[in-house]
Amino acid sequence: MFFASDNGGPAAPEILDAVLRANAGNAMPYGNDPIMDSVRRKIRDIFESPDAAVYLVATGTAANSLALASMVQPWQTVFCHRHAHIEEDECGAPEFFSGGAKLTLLDGENAKISPQSLKDALAFNAGNDVHHVQRGALSITTVNERAGVYSLQEIKALCDIAASNNIPVHMDGARFSNALVALGCSPAEMTWKAGVETLSFGGTKNGLMGVEAVVLFDPKRAWEFELRRKRAGHLFSKHRFLSAQMDAYLSDNLWLNLAAKANNAAARLAEGILKIKGAKLTHPVDANIVFASWPRKGHVAAHDAGAQYYIWPDGQSLDGPPDDMISARLVCNWATTDAEIDQFISTIS
């Protein structure tokens, strides 16, 4: 019963098979391996973006930070939700990679940026005053930190505001596949067709050992990106092992199938929880993450049974009246089984 995070799950067997195959013989290092050519082709095809620059790194923080640093100057600011991963969970990585750019924190329900909040912040940073930091970029996350998936309309609305203010858009897609499956649209529709310039395209949380792609739909800063990646220690010598994972991921719809499994698991989990008396969802379940509350006694039982997940927010105690409601975050991954879910529901009910 493991719902702590999708980064605690295993890699998919197809991924490990690909790594084993890639290990045969020698290969030129630093991304000059032939498998990377295949990855580049596949991503360009999948995103209908024949000129996109495509790079691999091993962590989501590296993907986000390198992407943002190539989009903003040190004296600019990145507009993002106050619960964005880049704000709360990367120990200041965007500031480090960008040379000290600022993050301007926006509001909105379910960790989705509200258009008004973005407009207000842009109005404040009008951008022609040397005393203020300047407008840099907009960063939106989907699936976001409160389980939310932006609709195509929501993405487009934010991108349009950004465009009319001449700032580029970054998408933190650490769980891009989960969001895409949830929307049922094309990868292009969810990104550059809506106005996204640079994408962190996650793999690690969806069955890879540790690979994220950065896709620059506008390749004008591709060389800068390569230099930044090297300079940050994120260019792998034995790059073929990254290439092989991403290549397998993008073959035979594996990436979509894995994401669908995780999303379906979350749906089943939410459905089960809602059957408990008094239980409710504390955020909508848009993809593979469930925020919900149920009586304390159910949490105590789960804890005793060794189930792993986070009480959310911090600071709610397992000691107290058994019928009080306690809220929690549960994350499903591709390997979460129906049996595991059902056992959990049975435990907490």
Q: Which of residues 56-115 bind a second copy (CB under 8 A)?
A: 57-63, 65-66, 73-75, 77, 88-93, 95-103, 105
Comparison of 230 and 275: residue with beta carbon closer to a second copy: 230
Among residues 149, 146, 147, 142, which one has the least CA distance to residue 170? 142
Q: Is 117 a binder of a second copy (CB under 8 A)? A: no
- Applying the rule CB under 8 A, the residues between 236 and 295 that interact with a second copy are 236-238, 241
Report CA 293 to chain centroid distance, whole Å. 24
Comparison of 192 and 334: residue with beta carbon closer to a second copy: 334
Comparison of 12 and 138: residue with beta carbon closer to a second copy: 12
Q: How far is the CB of 210 from a second copy (least distance, A)?
A: 5
Q: Rule CB under 8 A: choose which of 189, 218, 226, 324 binds a second copy.
A: 226
Q: Is the dihedral of CA 96, 211, 250, 337 positive or negative?
A: negative
Helix, strand, coil abundance in the chain, percent, nearest 5: 45, 15, 40
Angle, nearest 10°, between helix axes 240-249 and 34-46? 30
Secondary element (H or E) of residue 155: helix 152-164
> What number of other Cβ atoms are within 10 A of residue 100's Cβ?
14
Q: What is the dihedral of CA 48, 228, 141, 40, to 10 degrees?
A: 20
Comparison of 77 and 288: residue with beta carbon closer to a second copy: 77
Contact flags string 124-143 toward a second copy, x per CB under 8 A: ------xxxxx---------
Alpha carbons 282 and 168: distance in angstroms, whole number = 32
Q: Rule CB under 8 A: choose which of 184, 233, 306, 321 binds a second copy.
A: 233
How many residues touch a second copy (CB under 8 A)? 73
Q: How far is the CB of 308 from a second copy (least distance, A)?
A: 8
Q: Rule CB under 8 A: choose which of 46, 163, 185, 209 binds a second copy.
A: 209
